Structure 1
């Protein structure tokens, strides 16, 4: 049975070119996520390590050494105990850190991420305010 010329059905769906473009974009996002995820995991390991070091206390050299021990166990390569900024007010210590991570993408293109953290969250908020 043939359709008359007045009864055309409109096709719905994605074209092959559209599908390829969508898959390419999803692939790029997935590759970017796979490259960024280890650095984010390392950042949270550093935050956990400085919180643990602050809880144990001690002198500044002891705190740096304690961080270095935790860095070995936690696969932290971005910073060492010497990179920590430790300020002591009596028995209370404030530990902070900042570093940059460069993630190579394709050819000369790379992604630069600035990481910073502190055991005193108010310190970061003050730095972020203009």
Structure 2
């Protein structure tokens, strides 16, 4: 007799299964879809904010010495950069601090997510 024949038959108990259930899959798919929708709607407004911030920095450095010259320079950059739709030169707050021109801006962007649900983002910035 071989040693295999002498051993009692052992029954292998199945280990507890791991994985995701159908309800878990639906939950995660819904969550990921919602986050993707919000990101796809918000990213263009963030891109516009950074474009405005770069333009405001350029205008503060090179735009001129008077308020009307700075507003005209911003509007000129705005015509070139089609990504700026939320502000015009009239919306800029232009001050002088320590013989340096400081251009500030603030605006709100309302983004429709779906149905009656909207997201309100308030942007503000100033030249360096």
TM interval, short-chain normalised: 0.7 to 0.9
Match of 2:74 in 1: 67
Q: What's the counterpart of residue 109 of structure 1?
A: 117
Aligned twin of 1:124: none
Which residues of 2 match residues 11-22 of structure 1 at below 5 A?
11-22=17-28
Please name the residue that 1:43 is paired with: 49
Q: Could you list the runs of 5+ residues in structure 1 that have no partner in the other structure? A: 121-130
Give the corresponding residue for 1:77.
Answer: 85
TM-score (norm 1): 0.83
When normalised by structure 2's length, the TM-score is 0.84
Cα RMSD, aligned residues only:
1.7
Q: Distance in 1 between matches of 2:81 and 2:66?
A: 22
- How many Å separate the matches in 2 of 1:50 and 1:114? 17
Match of 1:55 in 2: 61
The count of aligned residue pairs is 117
- Which structure 1 residue ranges, 4+ long, deviate > 3 Å from structure 2? none
Deviates more, 1:50-59 or 1:61-70: 50-59
Q: Counterparts of 1:13 and 1:83 in 2: how far apart (Å)? A: 55
